[in-house]
Amino acid sequence: MRLRSTLDNECMILNAQINEENNTFFMVISDMSYAPPYRIENMTKTTFKISQKDSRSDDFELLKPFQIVSFAWSYPMNEKLLSVSICTQSVDELLGSYNIDSINKTECSLIKSKKTNKEYNLMIINDKTIKVIRILYR
């Protein structure tokens, strides 16, 4: 799960486990920022806004050109779809929401901006313990 500070906007990726021993529940929370479940790579000159679908309007990552960010779901119990928008000076354009939990080795989706008419590939790569989501020009 991803938590964002309201003070400095920094993110932390946590793993929460609930264990039961002798009718007592123990909750173990550990920092997983060093080994996130997803890595999102922007290999374009375009700035994107990424978030979990239907999350709060202030809960997103700005993915600048050629930037790589760690990612985890902010709301693990909600629908797990990654919303991708193009950031422009006037208004953001939602390109779509994508299931990035594919079990295939590699999967590729075409995403297209109606405003700029640019096409991008959204690649999902299963790389051992991490899923890499890579945005490329088509």
Model confidence pTM above 0.95: no
Residues facing 132 on adjacent strands: 39, 125
Which of 49-53, 88-92, 117-121 comes out lowest in average pLDDT?
Answer: 88-92
pLDDT band at residue 18 under the 50/70/90 scheme = confident
Q: Tell whether 90 is covered by a domain.
A: yes
Q: Tell whether 22 is covered by a domain.
A: no
The answer on pLDDT for 97 being more than 80 is yes
Q: Tell whether 110 is covered by a domain.
A: yes
Task: Provide the residue range defining the domain that includes 118.
Answer: 36-137
- Greatest C-alpha distance within the chain: 60
Nearest to 126 by CA among 35, 38, 36, 14: 38
pLDDT digits (tens, 9 = 90+) for 124-134: 988 878 889 99
Q: Tell whether 1 is covered by a domain.
A: no
pLDDT digits (tens, 9 = 90+) for 21-78: 899 998 888 777 777 888 999 999 999 999 999 888 888 889 999 999 989 898 888 8
Q: Tell whether 20 is covered by a domain.
A: no
How many domains, the chain? 1
Nearest to 129 by CA among 45, 36, 40: 36
Which H helix or E strand runs over 135?
strand 130-137
